[in-house]
Every structure is written in C-alpha cells, then in structure tokens.
Amino acid sequence: MKKILKAFLITIPVIAAAVLAYWFVMPRLEGNHQQGGVVDSSAFSKPVPRLYGLAVDSFLIETGKIGRNETLGKVLSRYSLPERALTQLLLYADQVFDLRKIKQGNNYTVFLSSDTVYTLQYLVYEHSPVDYVIFDFTDSVEVSLRQKDIVTRQKRASGEITSSLWEAITKSNINPMVAIELSEIYAWTVDFFGLQPGDHFSVVYDELFVDTVSIGIGRIHAASFNHVGKELLAIPFTQDSVETYYDADGNSLRRAFLKAPLKYSRISSRFSGSRLHPILKIRRPHYGVDYAAPVGTPVYAIGDGRVIMKDYQKGAGRIVKVRHNSVYTTTYMHLSNFGKDIAVGRYVKQGELLGYVGSSGLSTGPHLDFRVTKNGSPIDPLKMESPPVDPIKPHNKLAFDAAKQQSVDLLQGIDTQERLAQDMVNAGLPALDYLK
C-alpha cells in the first residue's frame, strides 16, 4: 500500500504539468495552426533556402564564370543535356534573350538533379547585378528574364574638401557616384576647379543594394555645399511636372550656362592679358582658360546655342564655336575630334557633346582652350555670371517652403514629423490631432 501511495504522489506533478501544457499550449496551436482538427506541421518547419527562387536543397549546385570566347553552348556541353533540348534552346532563346550578349566574366549557376544521374535542370546566367536569365531544362526548354530584389537604404554623409570633391568622397568611404551626382547638381553654381581647402558638403541620398552589394545610388533627397564660406542648399522640388534642384531662396540651381565644359580636369592656364606662349615664346594675351585633360575627354556645350564654326585652324587646331544669344559666344579649341553630327548651323542643347580634348594646332600637350565673348569682347570664363532660370512661382511658394524645411531636417538628421509635432505643441495646438 505504501508503494502504491508513493507512486501516486510521484505521478501527481507529472499529470499536473501535462494538464497545464494542454491548457496553455494547445489553445495557441489550435488558434494559429490547426485546420479541421489537425495541427499544421508547417508552422514548425524552417523556411527552405532559395536561390533565384529555386529550393537549394533539391539540387546539386555548381557555379562558374563565363570564360574568354566562351558561349552558352560551351558551358552546356559540360553537362548531360539531350540534343533536342540544345536545339530548342538555340531556336527559341533569342526570342527572350540574345545569347550573343553573354559576357566574359559574368557569373552563372547550374542546378543539377540530386540523384546519381546529375541531370541538368536549370542554368542561371547573371547578365547584370540586377538582371538574370533562367534557362529551364526540366521539361521543354523555357527561358525567362528576371530581376533580383533591389533594397533602397537612405544614407546621410558629409565630408571636407582638401584637394578635390572626388578625393573627399572616396576618403570618407562614400559611394563615388555621389561625387558625380553632386557635380551635376551644382554644375552651374560651384566652380569645382576652384574648390578651396575647408569647403565642405552634406548630402542625403538613396543607395541601392542587391544581395548586400551596392549597385549605385538613387535619388538625392537634399544636399548642402559650403564653398568659400557660402552655403548652397540643393532642394528637390517639382514644378510644372519637372523635378529640379533649387537654392534656399527658390532659385533654380540650373543656370543658363554650365560652370565648365568638361569634367574632372585641372586648369593649366588662366585668362590673362599677357602670357608667355609655351611654343612661340612671346608674350601675348590669352583670352581663355586651358583645361588640361587626357586625349578623348568629352567636351560639352555650356549652354543652348547654334554652331557658327566647325573648322581646323593652324593655331587653334580643331575648333568649334557656339553662339548662345545676342550677348554670349563660346569657343572650344585644340580638339582631337568633333562630336557626331556637329555641323555649322546646327542647334545644340546645354550639355551636348561638341568634341573631345586633343592637342591639335599649336599645343604642347592635350588640353581644351575654352573662350567666352560677351557682346563681342573676351571675358574671363571663370568670372562669368549666369542668371538662374525658372525660379519658384508664387503659387508654389508654400509647398516649396515645406520641401525646404524637410531638406534641412534631413541634412540635420531631424525627424520631420517630430519637429512638426513639437512646433504644434509650442504653438499651443494638439500635436497628436495634427499628426492624425
């Protein structure tokens, strides 16, 4: 009797634990995963790892890169593939993807059956960091174009100039494309060949990622560039269905003329009334700015206008001259070649390719001799004033002020809604109702 009582006492806690488990655990399972009285076992299973949408545990996977002069046929020849499948591929693949566009060095992944035969099931070719092609050999051959998911991350960055914008960007581990975007946004208002130590910038931008690898940048949400003590905000705003960047006063950062006709070079000679000519060894005026740059560097029109000269002259070499209006004319000298379709009488747009840096004519090395005349008289291109175009219109003023405040908040790392809520509180208004 004592043994039975002892066994009963030992069993009571076990039964109690089972009852508690039933009452507390089972209702949750029934509520969340039970269908028709049967617990859904998938609720406890781990998600199957996938690559290009294919379950990796169902295949033997091999990876490689397209070799030199290698075709898709050569890659496929290394795997067991029925002759009819290869014939189908050659017949129908080009309707979806041109097989001739396969590039050396690009990645491919092969999915083989996991049995002992190792039959080719799929081949995935990465045409770009985003685009890939799936060749499906599981039944009749199918080819499909797909894209990887692009993840956008908003970033805020800043830097200080010591020598150039490019160096400041790379030194601060910022995506180099930011330098290009900033140089285009401020192309009309900042002389990037005259940056000073101590100039600094801040920018908020979207960076795009695929498989944790950066593939470039997206939209610039706001920027600030402090040049020789003057701060220049860049505020994106859409007016008349066109988004462009404006300064704090609502003036467009886009000007009638670009600050320079080419990118990323250095000034080797400035505007002067008396310069020693490097070849003739005599002093005479140099009414232009020389930009030293490699042969082939693109040269662009600094503004809209009509080509009034395309010629080869002994001293100037290959030369293009553009009349922009009744006041301004620009000249581009020592070109190695002319841009496509550039001809006398042709109207060109701002930023259109005119030619390429060279060393034609009297020149000691590759450079662009760039000149500007105003009302027929030469002026220093680096001191040329260019009025802004398309300022904010009066009926857009309130919307622009809001966009400007949002840009300032982004640059300062302030949450705009929190600031608005605080402003409402300070004004004695119910912030929560406002945010609703």
Q: Helices 416-426 and 397-412 sit at what angle, rounded to 10 degrees?
A: 110
State residue 427's pLDDT score: 65
Nearest 5 degrees, angle CA 362-CA 364-CA 368? Answer: 75
State residue 430's pLDDT score: 64
Instruction: Report which of 358, 215, 372 is spatially closest to residue 287, judged by C-alpha positions.
Output: 372
**pLDDT at residue 403 greater than cutoff 90:** yes
Predicted structure pTM score: 0.62
**pLDDT at residue 339 greater than cutoff 60:** yes
Query: CB neighbours (10 Å) of residue 415?
Result: 11
Q: What are phi and psi of 405, to 5 degrees?
A: -65, -40
- Contact (CB, 8 A) for 345 and 319: no
- For 151-246, CATH number? 3.10.450.350
Long-range CB contacts (within 8 A, 24+) of 129-133: 129/210, 129/213, 129/215, 130/210, 130/215, 132/52, 133/96, 133/97
- Contact (CB, 8 A) for 111 and 119: no
- Residue 76, token pair as written in the block: 């496929």
In the chain, where the domains are located: 2-42, 50-147, 151-246, 266-383, 397-435
266-383 is classed CATH 3.40.50.300: no
For 50-147, the fitting CATH number among 3.40.50.360, 3.10.450.350, 3.40.50.10860, 3.30.9.10 is: 3.10.450.350
State residue 431's pLDDT score: 56
Mean pLDDT across the stretch 141-153? Answer: 91
What pLDDT digit, counting tens, does each position of 208-255 carry? 999 888 989 999 999 999 988 899 999 999 998 888 999 999 999 988
Q: Do the domains 50-147 and 266-383 sit in the same CATH topology, yes or no?
A: no
* Mean of all residue pLDDT scores within the chain: 82
